[in-house]
Amino acid sequence: MNPATPPHTGGLLHLIPGTAGLLTVAALGIAVLLLLIIKVRLQPFVALLAVSIGVGLAAGLSVTELFGTVQKSAATSVIETGMGGILGHVAIIIGLGTMLGAILEVSGGAEVLSSRLLGLFGEKRAPLAMGLTGLIFGIPVFFDVGIFVLAPIVYAAAKRSGKSILLYCMPLLAGLSMTHAFLPPHPGPVAAAGLLHVSLGWVILMGALVGLPAVLAAWAYAGWIGRRLFVAVPQDMVEAAEEARAKVAAERSGGSEAPVALSTVLLIIGTPLVLILAATFSSIALDASTLRSVIEFFGSPFVALTIALLLAYWLLGIRRGWSRKSLEQVSTSSLKPVGNILLVVGAGGVFGAVLKVSGVAQALSDTFHDVGLPVIVLAYLISLVLRVAQGSATVAIVTTVGIVLPLVEGGGHSQAFLALVIMAISAGSIFASHVNDGGFWIVSKYFGISERDTLKSWTVLESVLSLAGFVVAALLSLFV
């Protein structure tokens, strides 16, 4: 089936024929999606799935095409193909990355990392130390988990100095947000890479090239706002953190756990990144050979993350006295929040598949081409609008990829360029975090910042990170 000239004549197309009908279906679909998420407060997975079905039927897809038949549904179902195609790539990476982050978190790796950096940089440069802590520890852990784990360290640093907590929490949040937006194994970039068929090695490389200048810009703003807006350390959160630490210390007092070495933490975090990048560069620099096959095997994201997880099990767990049952419990409990993310990503895959098969995506592509804006600019703007409208970065990413996919398919673009498109989409997905974003409220409540001051600090910080990331990605796209 050629999506550029869909043969369907049912649905709305008999009322509004051709490209105009397809564009109307697309516009209505996105409007209904935003309405369901924002006003009806429908779970994003359900909203995406319902809109995908509605768009498919309105664009003229038959029930058989959408759902398949009882006898042979896997071969004919757009929904199953869209869901399975993306989750087959994303689920394993997100699952392994989540378990790796949980072991680093529970073992005390974050505290070791931040303490060493604070000691290295000293009290005067403590904000920079917090930023680097967020940047490094944010690679394997989710954004909100990073806040929960590292917040007590922020409280302690701000309490010692007597300065605004913004001076310490904002650099930390910028580091966590940068890795969450631009680097695997976080869901956004991994999902976009799967949908656009881009090697994770290129995503890691471009994520670092785009993210590091962007986070420097965000750190500059964090320092500026932290010196001009005083926010006291939230005493109730400090007391809760101290109580939790005392409880953990009491539980470990009779154990035989050895302290975590900083080199161990860096080894575990760096191993999958180095292996994946090595595989990417070997495919460019080496001819087909046994050596290249070996490097590409160990650099497969599945293998690289499995190696890192096994290293964490041994170095942070078993060697320090953990039981196998403890390792299993930590790993299993870490996967509980992942279900919602995977369902949203899968529903985004369904939405993209419906747009493609029905011809809606091609109609959008033709229209965007007529606008004359570069694809990387369109990708950023679409993601930004969806993010600001409904709040979820993951929904913004998977929806945007479904819309821009036909813009890049068949265009002969390099993996490097497609990775930069992903960076633009990811940058748009973090713009202007405000009251419809769960992250806004986590930041506000955990650090005791009023809603007004959270808008002045966190919302602007995210916008700076977003705009700087997009600018760097757009500039790099001129050379790849």
Q: Which two tokens stand for residue 163?
A: 């300065």
Query: Tell me, what's the pLDDT at 241?
Result: 64
Q: For 275-283, which contacts have Cβ atoms below 8 Å and span 24 or more sequence positions? A: 275/299, 275/303, 275/304, 275/307, 276/184, 276/200, 276/201, 276/204, 276/300, 276/301, 276/304, 277/201, 277/204, 277/205, 279/201, 279/304, 280/199, 280/201, 280/202, 280/204, 280/205, 281/201, 283/199
Average pLDDT over residues 384-403: 90
Query: Tell me, what's the pLDDT at 7?
Result: 45
| DSSP, residue by residue, 112-166 | HHHHHHHHHHTTTTHHHHHHHHHHHHTTTS-HHHHHHHHHHHHHHHHHHHTS-TH
What is the C-alpha to C-alpha distance for residues 136 and 145, in angstroms, rounded to an integer? 14
Assess if residue 330 is contained within a domain: yes
Assess if residue 151 is contained within a domain: yes
Between residues 48 and 360, the one the model is more confident about: 48
SS3 43: coil
Assess if residue 261 is contained within a domain: yes
Assess if residue 209 is contained within a domain: no
Query: Tell me, what's the pLDDT at 401?
Result: 92
Query: Tell me, what's the pLDDT at 177?
Result: 96
For residue 436, give every residue at least 6 positions away whose Cβ sits within 8 Å of its Cβ, in sequence order, or none: 38, 390, 391
> Tokens 């706002």 appear where?
225
What is the C-alpha to C-alpha distance for residues 30 and 355, in angstroms, rounded to an integer? 11
Question: Of 117, 124, 123, 152, which Cα lies nearest the Cα of 266?
Answer: 117
Are 146 and 181 contacting, i.e. CB atoms less than 8 angstroms apart?
Answer: no
Are 200 and 281 contacting, i.e. CB atoms less than 8 angstroms apart?
Answer: no
What is the C-alpha to C-alpha distance for residues 422 and 429, in angstroms, rounded to an integer? 10
Assess if residue 448 is contained within a domain: no
Query: Tell me, what's the pLDDT at 73?
Result: 44
pLDDT averaged over every residue in the chain: 87
What is the C-alpha to C-alpha distance for residues 288 and 340, in angstroms, rounded to an integer? 40
Query: Does 66 have pLDDT greater than 90?
Result: no
Residue 79, CA distances (Å) to 63, 68, 70, 433 in order: 11, 9, 14, 31
Assess if residue 469 is contained within a domain: no
Query: Does 197 have pLDDT greater than 70?
Result: yes
Query: Tell me, what's the pLDDT at 472?
Result: 98
For residue 259, give every residue at least 6 positions away whose Cβ sits within 8 Å of its Cβ, in sequence order, or none: 108, 112
Average pLDDT over residues 452-466: 97
pTM for the model stands at: 0.86
Average pLDDT over residues 162-188: 95
Domain that residue 327 falls in: 85-194+235-334
Between residues 438 and 71, the one the model is more confident about: 438
Query: φ, ψ for residue 439 (rounded to 5)?
Result: -60, -35
For residue 191, give every residue at least 6 positions away whose Cβ sits within 8 Å of its Cβ, in sequence order, or none: 86, 90, 345, 348, 394, 397, 398, 401
What is the C-alpha to C-alpha distance for residues 215 and 127, in angstroms, rounded to an integer? 13
Assess if residue 13 is contained within a domain: no
Are 347 and 398 contacting, i.e. CB atoms less than 8 angstroms apart?
Answer: yes
- pLDDT tens readout for residues 40-58: 989 889 999 999 999 899 8
Q: Which amino acid is located at 209 in the chain?
A: L
How many domains in the chain? 1
Query: Tell me, what's the pLDDT at 477?
Result: 96
Range with lowest mean pLDDT among 16-20, 117-121, 354-358, 446-450:
16-20
Average pLDDT over residues 299-309: 94
The top-scoring range by mean pLDDT among 4-18, 359-373, 399-413 is: 399-413
- pLDDT tens readout for residues 323-355: 888 889 889 988 887 888 889 988 888 888 888
Query: Tell me, what's the pLDDT at 275?
Result: 95
Q: Which two tokens stand for residue 333?
A: 């409990």
Assess if residue 383 is contained within a domain: no
Query: φ, ψ for residue 229 (rounded to 5)?
Result: -130, 110
What is the C-alpha to C-alpha distance for residues 402 and 200, in angstroms, rounded to an integer? 19
Between residues 198 and 62, the one the model is more confident about: 198
What is the C-alpha to C-alpha distance for residues 170 and 443, in angstroms, rounded to an integer? 9
Confidence of residue 6 (pLDDT cuts 50, 70, 90): very low
Q: Which amino acid is located at 359 in the chain?
A: G
Average pLDDT over residues 396-420: 90
Q: How many CB atoms lie within 10 A of CB 227?
A: 13
Query: Tell me, what's the pLDDT at 1?
Result: 41
- Cα dihedral 56, 58, 60, 61, rounded to 10, equals 20
What is the C-alpha to C-alpha distance for residues 411 and 124, in angstroms, rounded to an integer? 51
